[in-house]
Structure 1
């Protein structure tokens, strides 16, 4: 592993940890609303109030009763580190090619920023699919009739019963989400950073941290504007049974889309959107702020 990649992974992990600490309470509400039967909750506050009343305040920071916040910290920290490593590596490759071709000074075009984001999302999906699948299973299992004692127990039981296909359940939706979403996500952030540096004639490490967080927040909104319906399908697929004998409702990703559309209408594809929109600027602002500040420290070391 090269030194630059090691820095990218380290800084990305810092961004992922910041994302979990800020965003997990909203994420649990989102997942519960996405995957519960229609009419279970009247809205975000009803869902959050039910979690608080029935499971206590610490439930907002638990992937399961036994795993606490450590699992999402490790899992999402790893996912975000891969995202940023893929992004930064792709940016360096495109920059080197631009210089070698004599077409510029190494600056990236908008399409190259987008392509770098797509590459980052696809690289991330290899890990994010299983991580989110396990996390969602733990977040939605009944509190009094738990199937899994924790993330490792869930992994072992799912793999033992369903193999690698069971671990990667919902991966088609995950790939669609990561490629489209992170292409737009990182394109937005990089163009905003580029504009700020050009207008003020400053280096990347001189951009005001508050602006970094603001640009991250804006990028988060573009991300969810693109991926939310896909994310809902992914959540449904990842909470569905593994076979007809275990309560499987959907034969495929496309069957899931058609079934939900016919039974619940278009509103189903935006259920849980409110907590996501509230969470997004804080979680994504924290992600980019954590990454950029960690990179400044690492570059100065």
Structure 2
């Protein structure tokens, strides 16, 4: 924090006396640049930035909103000083809850222990990096003045909110992964932030899937039709599809692929919350392995509910021109010719594939992130967006490598209606046939276009997600 603020406010006096009041007045005067007796969001943000204080996006708005008693969009001196006094009291309680041995200082082991009590397992090294981001005098312990200086202008007050701050700014090892649904605080649930984040995620998924749909259709095409005797290259495959149905045929199946995002996301999120409560001892504190199990079970639940759409996506992607007039016509013809069971062809390998994908994705993501932090991070535990996207891309790719043979079998079973009845087979017989006729690499038909779409899919979804969040007012 800037030395000016330290001199103005963070003195040794902790009581509300004339000296403390004067320090608040001096700080208020510096922030009130237009001298109207009030500090608005713009003045607070500019003043704190000028003093060298770093704070999260949206913190200035939240501070003003919390202290603005007369709802005029700004803070007068009384509101300003009352907010700071109340905020300090809450920070004092959070500090005491972390100071396990009551020696007036917080060390790395106390941070590690406190997070563990809340169901968040981190290493000693990660706890040290958190400590370093607060420690001013380099003693590797944090006293009350350093704690207050770090969090005074951050709206986080209780321990759970401060951990949420660390989660966003320091990227803790709490098992976040593309396979595990988002978690939201009580505040985010009550303010409606959670559903806006889900909407942003769904929008990002829709744009990302549409942008990479030709590669997705090529993957399905190669999974079903490519073999040793019928080798299909990317160029030849695209030529065949364009010749048969025109350029727009590259997006066949994308409509239902986008349509299933919203119900799948909603079901997965709701199921995840319920499984967390069932698997954790008190319904709140949850360990990493419980999060993995909850996420896997939630994924299985969502897949069970929307699986008929998965079958339709495969059929529509493989259809020939004029075979189906649309999604409803496809569903009607499948039901009429093959019965209700057809909508769950390939269900078993699909569900079995969730476990290796989710587990490897989670493990690789955390290993890569922690390896980067151990080697390159000096005084922060924040790898940055580029590193996290890179970790996510590699971990997702590794997860796909592990689960791809099951995905291949699932797709072939989903497409069996387009083959002769004599060629239809079970999961076990399909795996045996593929290995016998095409060898080990036969289980990875179509994986090239699948890999090719990972980086653009991650990049598109991230950009769209951020822009959509901003449009929905999420900081």
The answer to whether residue 318 in structure 2 is matched with residue 140 in structure 1 is yes
Distance of 1:5 and 1:126 partners within structure 2: 24
In 1, are the aligned partners of 2:364 and 2:398 still within 8 Å (CA)? yes
The answer to whether residue 340 in structure 2 is matched with residue 155 in structure 1 is no
Show the 5 A alignment for 1:123-202: 123-143=301-321, 146-189=322-365, 200-201=380-381
Distance of 2:233 and 2:357 partners within structure 1: 26
The answer to whether residue 253 in structure 2 is matched with residue 75 in structure 1 is no
In 2, are the aligned partners of 1:121 and 1:182 still within 8 Å (CA)? no
Q: C-alpha deviations, 1:117-168, integer Å up to 9, x for none?
A: 312321231145222211111111233xx43222111112222333331111
In 1, are the aligned partners of 2:276 and 2:286 still within 8 Å (CA)? no
Match of 2:246 in 1: 56
In 1, are the aligned partners of 2:277 and 2:283 still within 8 Å (CA)? no
**Deviation, structure 1 residue 174:** 1.2
Distance of 1:107 and 1:192 partners within structure 2: 23
**Deviation, structure 1 residue 299:** 7.8
Q: Indicate the structure (1 or 2) with the bigger Cα radius of gyration.
A: 2
Match of 1:228 in 2: 404
Distance of 2:282 and 2:467 partners within structure 1: 28
Instruction: Provide the TM-score with structure 1 as the length reference.
Output: 0.75
3-state SS of 2:417 partner: coil
Match of 2:237 in 1: 47
Q: CA RMSD in A?
A: 3.7
Structure 1: gaps spanning 5 or more residues = 64-68, 101-105
Change (3 A) 1:9 1:222: same
Change (3 A) 1:26 1:265: same
Match of 1:263 in 2: 437
Match of 1:66 in 2: none
Distance of 2:242 and 2:341 partners within structure 1: 35
Q: C-alpha deviations, 1:63-96, integer Å up to 9, x for none?
A: 2xxxxx4332212454355445555x37964997
Change (3 A) 1:165 1:300: same
Q: C-alpha deviations, 1:237-269, integer Å up to 9, x for none?
A: 011139x9x525234211221222233332321
Match of 1:20 in 2: 209
Match of 1:103 in 2: none
Q: Which structure is richer in relative contact order (CA contacts within 8 A, separation 6 or more)?
A: 1
Distance of 1:99 and 1:126 partners within structure 2: 25
Name the one with the larger helix percent: 1
Distance of 2:387 and 2:267 partners within structure 1: 24
Distance of 1:134 and 1:57 partners within structure 2: 21
Change (3 A) 1:241 1:56: closer
Structure 2: gaps spanning 5 or more residues = 1-188
Distance of 2:267 and 2:197 partners within structure 1: 8
Change (3 A) 1:268 1:239: same
Distance of 1:286 and 1:193 partners within structure 2: 21
**Deviation, structure 1 residue 169:** 1.2
In 2, are the aligned partners of 1:12 and 1:83 still within 8 Å (CA)? no
Change (3 A) 1:157 1:259: same
Distance of 1:95 and 1:299 partners within structure 2: 34
Change (3 A) 1:291 1:300: closer
3-state SS of 1:300 partner: coil
Change (3 A) 1:126 1:6: farther
Matched residue count: 281
Distance of 2:267 and 2:370 partners within structure 1: 22
3-state SS of 1:149 partner: coil
**Deviation, structure 1 residue 13:** 1.4
Distance of 1:133 and 1:4 partners within structure 2: 33
Instruction: Provide the TM-score with structure 2 as the length reference.
Output: 0.50
